[in-house]
Amino acid sequence: MTRRSPVRRIVIAFAALLALCGQAFSQAAFVFTAIPDQDESRLVERFTKVAEYLQGKLGVSVKYLPVKSYPAAVTAFTNGDVQLAWFGGFTGVQARKANPGAQALAQGAEDAAFKTYFIANAATGLEKTADFPKEAAGKTFTFGARSSTSGRVMPEHFIRQAFPGKTPEQVFSRVGFSGDHSRTIQLVQSGAFEVGAVDYSVWDLDVKAGKVDAAKVKIIWESPPFPDYQWTVRGDVDETYGAGFTGRLKAALIEVTDRAILDPFGRSKFIPVDNAAYAPVEEVGKATGLLD
């Protein structure tokens, strides 16, 4: 039996270690996140299904990373902790601005012409109107998260249009930020705030889930349309996961047909989109001073 020299044994062991490292690198998990616009348990259920679907399509380990706030989603994307994110229109603009090369890949078919509902507690006596409900002035008002497109950025834009020269704080007696759309609905329904701005798709989902009491809270206005949610990917994923990975990812998202995935989004399907589609949101963000 031939005995190996100590040097040879070290070389063999080092080569084996390199092989293991190479294998681990080739199997690096693809991680994504999403803005926390609803109840966390609902989001985990939704995005776990997305992770399972993408893993089967892309042939790499895919993991969903929950975050606690909209800025945290942008930060995770900027730092490279995640490679993909389900952003709102405004957070997508923020993330791509901080990450040159990042691309908007797909949006819900409904996101090309999204809308905000202004809702009111029934005790206010406010009724639905075609024009902006100026009668809400002087009431207490809650936005959603501070960087939510449909829960803050666009609603603030519409408020400023309706009351030129005034900020929301000057229009309403008290202004708050609920943190997410489902919370906005509950705060207005309970009477903690008299009026609020909410993502119409979350309203519809909560109505279907039996979480909205029509005797206590109602829609008083539907906003004009604007572009909103989208999947945005970092520009360096092809370097990590191989040439053509971005294209395969985009195709996988657009090819989703499983209602168990689409229905929790409140979307009929995902369609292609690009960064230019969100120029209107970027312009509003700058005009309202919410984007540098």
* Per-residue pLDDT tens digits for 72-127: 999 999 999 999 999 999 999 999 999 999 999 999 999 999 999 999 999 999 99
Residue 165 belongs to domain spanning: 115-222
- Residue 233's closest CA among 88, 99, 113, 111? 99
At 3, is the pLDDT very low, low, confident or very high (cuts 50, 70, 90)? Answer: low
- On whether both 137 and 189 belong to a single domain, the answer is yes
| The pairing of beta strand 30-34 with beta strand 62-64 | parallel
Do residues 180 and 103 both lie within one domain? no
Average per-residue pLDDT in the chain?
Answer: 92
Side chain identity, residue 44:
V
pLDDT at 22 over 70: no
| Amino acid 27: pLDDT | 52
Rounded to an integer, what distance in angstroms lies between the CA atom of residue 73 and that of residue 286? Answer: 21
Contact between residue 141 and residue 196 where contact means Cβ atoms under 8 Å apart? yes
Q: What is the pLDDT of residues 243-291, one digit of tens each?
A: 999 999 999 999 999 999 999 999 999 999 999 999 999 999 999 899 9
Same domain for 107 and 119, yes or no, is no
In this structure, are 161 and 124 located in the same domain?
yes
Residue 12 lies in a domain: no
Asked if residue 120 and residue 205 are part of one domain, the reply reads: yes
- For position 39, what pLDDT does the model report? 81
Burial (CB < 10 A; 0-12, 13-18, 19+), residue 42, is middle
Report the predicted TM-score, pTM, of the whole model to 2 decimal places: 0.85
Same domain, 54 and 144: no
Please give the share of the chain, as a percent, with pLDDT higher than 70: 91
CATH number at residue 63: 3.40.190.10
Residues 119 and 172 in one domain: yes
Indicate whether 55 pLDDT > 80.
yes
DSSP state of 133: -
What are phi and psi for residue 4, nearest 5 degrees? -85, 140
Are 152 and 248 contained in the same domain?
Answer: no
Q: Residue 24 has what pLDDT?
A: 38
How much is the average pLDDT of 152-156? 97
Provide the sign of the torsion angle of the four alpha carbons 155, 157, 158, 164, taken in this order: positive
Residue 11, domain member (yes or no): no
Domain count for the chain: 2
Asked which of 175, 200, 222 is the last residue of a domain, the reply is: 222
Joined tokens for residue 194: 């008299």
Q: Are residues 210 and 127 in the same domain?
A: yes
Q: For residues 60 and 3, which has the higher predicted lDDT (pLDDT)?
A: 60
Strands 270-272 and 103-108: antiparallel
Residue 68 confidence (pLDDT) above 50: yes
Which of 222, 249, 276 is a domain's end point?
A: 222
CA–CA dist 46, 98 (Å, integer): 27
- Where do the H-state alpha helices sit in the chain? 6-26, 40-58, 70-79, 89-98, 154-162, 168-171, 181-190, 200-208, 237-241, 245-254, 259-265, 279-287
- Asked whether residue 47 falls in the same domain as residue 176, the answer is no
Judge whether residue 42 has pLDDT over 90: no
Residues 168 and 82 occupy one common structural domain: no
Q: What percent of the chain has pLDDT over 90?
A: 87
14 pLDDT higher than 90: no
| Domain limit, last residue, from 222, 246, 270 | 222
> Residues 124, 107: one domain?
no
